Structure 1
Amino acid sequence: MKRKILVTGGTGFVGGALLKCLVTRSDLQVLAWIRRVDSVLPVGAVPVPVSLNRTFAAGTQVEGVDTVIHCAARVHVMRDHATDPLAEFRKVNVDGTLELARSAVASGARRFIFISSIKVHGETTLPDKPFAADDSPPVPTDPYALSKLEAERGLQVLAAETGMEVVIIRTPLVYGPGVKGNFRTMLRWLTRGVPLPLGAVGNKRSLVALDNLVDLIVTCIDHPAAANEILLVGDGEDLSTSDLLRRLASALGKPVRLLPVPVTRLEAVAGFFGKRGAYDRLCGSLQVDISKTRSLLGWAPPVGVDEALRKTATDYLERRHA
């Protein structure tokens, strides 16, 4: 009998890639929790509509679900116009997550995999002082990160009360085919040949390729050592912003124009214009220690950075010329 795997966020960046991977497995029946009945899903994925109270709608074949993989979330918003951003994040990322998890317990689910964020640890690290999975206490600095941490803690309480296994995966920036946000902005800059004042930036940042994240999630479906653990994920190679831009430009087949503006000057300009957050994302370090994930699961990122950048760049160029 096929095991049932339920994925949320199946029309999103991570969830969509995960669905495409899972539907190739002959031993799984893959269910996709969707908000819109016209959602486009990979062939082989069974749609499960959301009910009005955010749990499973009646008659949607959720009994006997073995594993729930929760990718859906209200994501970090750069210009949030909500009157109370924390309340909005909690409504989706905390209340919605825990309601889903309780429904999973009632459906007999064995394991609940929660895709969280490295931002629960904070926004930046000192060079060569990466965040580790068991660092305590986490120090979230914005409403999104706080909501993710609160969801994690609620899931851990539920696991202790019910026996359902919870796996928490904290991710840094995820990139790959179809990436949006700041990463796509960098692709646009490089494609257009925009001169960038980032040639002197020597920070270190951890990223994770979409293929590597999906591979870890799939590993966590069955691995016994993943039960009730917090795991960090990354590519295993940290890059400075300037190195990332050079390697991404190479993947695009474009020259890169990096101006060696001193970092202190960039920081001063960012502070003057109220862009400290943008400065931190471009010039600050944020490193992730994945040694626990490696040793506990015997896992290693299957895709190297340059290969992942090539796939991302090729997809961007194909979409741009479509």
Structure 2
Amino acid sequence: MTVPKVLVTGASGFVGEAMVFRLLADKQFCPIAAARGATRLHGLCSVMPFDLTHPRIQLALNDVQVVVHAAARVHVMNETAADALAEFRKVNVEGTIKLAQYAAASGVKRFIFISSIKVNGESTRPGRPFKADDLPNPLDPYGVSKYEAEEALKRLSHDTGMELVIIRPPLIYGPGVQANFLSMLNWLDKAVPLPLGAIRNQRSLVSIANVVSLIVTCIDHPAAINQTFLVSDGEDVSTTQLLRRLSIALGKPARLWPVPEYLLKLAASLFGKNAVAQRICDSLQVDISKNRELLKWTPPTNMDKAMRQTAGHYQENHTK
């Protein structure tokens, strides 16, 4: 029996690389890694440059059954582009649609698009989580670009018959995580005192293992066709709880000062860091009941285990 081929874009990135390693381990699918830049996957599977201007991308789609599109221009806290939305659109909208058009023309059966919870919005009221079928409300250029890509993909799917699955993750963490989560690990490892000991928000996170698990489920699940899914660890935490649990995973004391949230937001406003305060203090919860009901999927890795794996990788690679 021929093993189905799955093309994974962004294979040198956090999600894409983890996806390819999972497919290699499962041996139920044959991954093709499309990567922009260096990757550790050479010698393990077929690797090709991810360049939509090169005709090789069309050739690589021959006999591919599923595309997992994880490549993107990602959200950053300190955007420097003069027209951020235009820059996001070039990659996240125009690039995505070009790839999807090639895929449909090549006979790809299913296109899985890794979107973002920012399509739903920036924050939720405690106890009022986002749901997969809520009306979108993107507020920043990154979220808008992801939403526009989703809508264009839906039109293309309707016109061509190529199946579409959209997955919107919140903050993803796990071994090898970068950016703000890595900064948190650094602060906690160095026992830096942080004024974050009295935050009572609720935020959904998702480990890389759980994201990849859901993507794998969506590769061939018949109920996933033309559906949108949110994903999380199935457990929400406050910023304070997150820092304490990460400290436990690191085996380090958490030095958290109980500074009231209103003082944190005031200080952030004075220094022009409102977006940072929002991410630290506001709630952002997601409801994954649709995944359980439609796909019979539940997160296979609990948060404490995922945090231990994340902390262990950090200690092996970032500490002496």
TM-score category of the 2 structures, normalised to the smaller one: over 0.9
Contact 1:252 1:310 in 2 (8 A): yes
Letter in 2 for 1:131: F
Instruction: Give 1:25's aligned residue.
Output: 26
Shift of residue 52, structure 1, vs aligned partner? 5.8
Aligned pairs for 1:46-61 within 5 A: 46-51=46-51, 53=53, 56-57=56-57, 60-61=59-60
Instruction: Give 1:294's aligned residue.
Output: 292
Contact 1:34 1:48 in 2 (8 A): yes
Counterparts of 1:61 and 1:116 in 2: how far apart (Å)? 23
Aligned counterpart in structure 2 of residue 273 of structure 1, from 271, 274, 277: 271
Contact 1:98 1:151 in 2 (8 A): yes
Counterparts of 1:203 and 1:173 in 2: how far apart (Å)? 15
Aligned pairs for 1:155-304 within 5 A: 155-304=153-302
Instruction: Classify 1:27/1:261 alpha carbon distance in 2 versus 1 (closer, same or farther; 3 Å).
Output: closer
Letter in 2 for 1:90: R
Size of the aligned set, in residue pairs, is 319
Instruction: Give 2:11's aligned residue.
Output: 10
Letter in 1 for 2:15: V
Cα deviation 1:105-134 (Å, max 9, x = unaligned): 111100000000001111111111111111
Gap runs ≥5 in structure 1:
none
Instruction: Give 1:78's aligned residue.
Output: 77
Shift of residue 77, structure 1, vs aligned partner? 2.0
Instruction: Give 1:95's aligned residue.
Output: 94
Aligned pairs for 1:308-319 within 5 A: 308-319=306-317
Instruction: Give 1:128's aligned residue.
Output: 127
Counterparts of 1:148 and 1:54 in 2: how far apart (Å)? 24
Counterparts of 1:211 and 1:190 in 2: how far apart (Å)? 23
Cα deviation 1:225-249 (Å, max 9, x = unaligned): 0000000000000000000111000
Counterparts of 1:96 and 1:54 in 2: how far apart (Å)? 13
Instruction: Give 1:41's aligned residue.
Output: 41
RMSD: 1.4
- Match of 2:6, SS state, is strand
Contact 1:193 1:256 in 2 (8 A): yes
Gap runs ≥5 in structure 2:
none
Counterparts of 1:302 and 1:163 in 2: how far apart (Å)? 32
**Identity value in percent:** 55
Q: TM-score, normalised by structure 2?
A: 0.96
Shift of residue 2, structure 1, vs aligned partner? 1.9
Shift of residue 42, structure 1, vs aligned partner? 5.7
Counterparts of 1:293 and 1:219 in 2: how far apart (Å)? 10
Letter in 1 for 2:252: K
Contact 2:52 2:99 in 1 (8 A): no
Instruction: Classify 1:258/1:55 alpha carbon distance in 2 versus 1 (closer, same or farther; 3 Å).
Output: farther
Counterparts of 2:238 and 2:50 in 1: how far apart (Å)? 41
Counterparts of 1:54 and 1:237 in 2: how far apart (Å)? 43
Shift of residue 80, structure 1, vs aligned partner? 1.9
